């Protein structure tokens, strides 16, 4: 039996998008058929913590401990820009996040579609 992946939204206090990212992650989990999945918000407060957690800017959404939107892990406590089908955005594409959660539920790697 496959257990639902843990979903974490890593953010910095000054990020204006972190609450929207938390809502997006919860919505994507429901759309992926994983409504029972807990989504955790984790504030990143130091460069060391950022590096340890795999933080790639705020918000970073981890699905089963992996970032479905890999980018450079610099440890910088800064906002993040995602490449989406509509161009650069402060949040990932909801459909891509839903696909990543579905893949994690199936124990499959996620391949981001353009």
CA distance 97 to 62: 10
22, containing H or E segment? helix 18-31
Residue 2 maps to a domain: no
Domain membership flag for residue 111 = no
Show the tokens assigned to 111: 């391949």
Domain span holding position 57: 7-45+53-105
Tens digits of per-residue pLDDT, 3-37?
667 899 999 999 999 999 999 999 999 999 887 88
Q: Is-cis flag, bond preceding 59, omega within 30?
A: yes
The reported pLDDT for the residue numbered 112 is 59
Mean pLDDT throughout 90-102? Answer: 93
Q: Please give the tally of structural domains in the chain.
A: 1
Q: Considering the domain boundaries, does residue 110 fall inside one? A: no
Residue 1 lies in a domain: no
Number of H helices, E strands in the chain: 3, 5
Domain membership of residue 97 (yes or no) is yes
Residue 17 lies in a domain: yes
Q: Is residue 15 part of a domain?
A: yes
Tokens at 94, concatenated: 């909801």
Per-residue pLDDT of 29-87, as tens digits, reads 999 988 788 899 999 999 999 999 989 999 999 998 889 987 766 678 999 999 899 99
């Amino acid at each position: 039996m496959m257990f639902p992946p843990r979903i974490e939204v890593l953010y910095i206090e000054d990020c204006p998008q972190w609450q929207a990212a938390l809502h997006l992650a919860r919505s994507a989990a429901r759309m992926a058929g994983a409504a029972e999945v807990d989504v955790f918000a984790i504030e990143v407060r130091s460069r060391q913590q950022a590096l340890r957690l795999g933080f790639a800017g705020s918000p970073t959404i981890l699905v089963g401990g992996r970032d479905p939107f890999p980018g450079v892990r610099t440890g910088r406590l800064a906002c993040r820009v995602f490449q989406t089908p509509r161009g650069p955005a402060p949040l990932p594409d909801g459909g891509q996040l839903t696909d990543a959660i579905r893949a994690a539920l199936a124990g499959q790697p996620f391949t981001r579609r353009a």
